[in-house]
Structure 1
Amino acid sequence: MPPGIYKKLMSTSMDAMMGNLGGAMKAMPLRQIAQIGGMSAEEAQKLDKVDLSQVMAIYDPHWEERQKLTMHAMFGAMGDFFTTMEPELREGMATAYANRFSLSELNDLDRFFETPTGTKYAATATTIMTDPAVMNTMKDLMPKMMQQMPHFLEAAKKATAALPPPRKIKDLSPAEKARLAKALGMDESKLQDPKGTS
């Protein structure tokens, strides 16, 4: 893989995918977003038939620009971070390949990567997700995936149905409260249940 490949990945493919996700979210009706957030279908049905972009245009006229700048800055900074981590990542990749391929197989791969086709493949394989053909598919996929989000969440809910619900502060023993307060670095009297729990 050419040097700087991780920064390139972060600044192109991930940026584009997040852009598609943001576009899918903007185009979704507010009631659908509310259902993803846990509102029942009956409650969500009462919401106006408007999409998120209409709501945000009222609340924050610079919302779309703010989202783009935020994502661009975040993935740029993440790209810089991954550049500093590249030697360790390469070491990890080398170990992973050594665990899965024999020396003879690795030599076969090395000979392939020395050919013009192998060199081209090495330079493009990790960034193929940025190809317009792939990105257009992702653009079409995101709205469909977001529409299925209530189904995904319901599957997760069913998978954990047999587990007891998370405990509340009042359910903890004095020793557990003391340990929790110490772990959080706060006074025990200020402990409270996370918002959204009932």
Structure 2
Amino acid sequence: MCMSTWKSLALAGAAVIVPVHAGAAPTPTQVEAAEAPDGAMNDAALAEAKAKMQKEIDEAIALVEKIFEVDKLPPVDPARLALARQTTAALIPAGSLEKMLDNMYGKIFKAVMEQAGGMSDLMLSIKTGVDDETLAGLDADTKSKAVEILDPNRKAREEQVMEVVKPLISEVLRDLEAPMRDGMAHAYSRKFTAAHLGDMNSFFATPAGSAFAGEWMALQADPEVMIAMIKAVPPLIEKFIDRAPELEGKFKALPKERGLADLSETELSSLAKLMKVDVATLKEHRDMWMGSGEANDAGESGGEADWESASDADSYDVADPALDRSNWTAADRERVETLEAAADEASGTAFDAEMEAVANARKRLKIADPSY
């Protein structure tokens, strides 16, 4: 079943607007949960998804504030802050965020929408019954004409979707500019002196300075800049690969982390006091891990090698080269890997749900968690 239009918009819009590192964009599961069986919007589920997202954002903010000890920052000088606000007003003029994201995400956003409403080789094979090897032999223009026969309204539909989504994205980006200016103003007022800020503001008041201020953010996402950065990645990785033996030797010389088995009786007593438990509890835990560790040590001698051998046998069985995925077609490999990824995600979600259900049952039954 194809993803409904509103879900495509939600996911594509979130991909454009929300920074990747924030980890707060609505997930497909959250969006799916907000749709009732009849396709209608489920207000309760949407409210729950929004609340969950806000909770994650609040936790992320608290973590960043703790890491950077924001509460210990000294007060900002009002006069310097006023100068910094003038600076950031020049550096983030109205529409600059939209210009930057158009550079960086414009094509990506369009590609997401084309994928949601378009037709991949796999989907074309499913719809027509033509095998993937035959499709692989067709050029892009031929495939495009075939898709046009099956879905003549695709391009018009994509344009209509863009017309609906683009104004919303523009509105959201305009809303983001004010808090971004404010955050940068505070950072600039701490980083630069009043004289520095005054010189910057004088420069930004000139034609050259104004042109620079209006373009510097968008230029960070210019295709030439992005391509240059991507091209620089392989040499960086090669340096780590080439120096791996040297790094490994240095890492081995680092002091090792201690476990309970490495602590003296005095240290065990001090630790027990700090953690408000009996020494016997720590010793029991220590002895249990020591026992399991011995068992693991006994089985480690060939465990990893055996596992790798088994994997190699599964993937590259000499007697059956059909099991070697490099002999599969791209479409078959894509289909299998997509299903495997979905199965892994479902398995993890099911495990999390099971653990949550167990915890809820313990609370309801007033059963204490077992100590391990």
Return the TM-score normalized by structure 2.
0.29
Return the TM-score normalized by structure 1.
0.47
More relative contact order, 1 or 2 (CA 8 Å, 6+ apart): 1
**Structure showing greater Rg:** 2
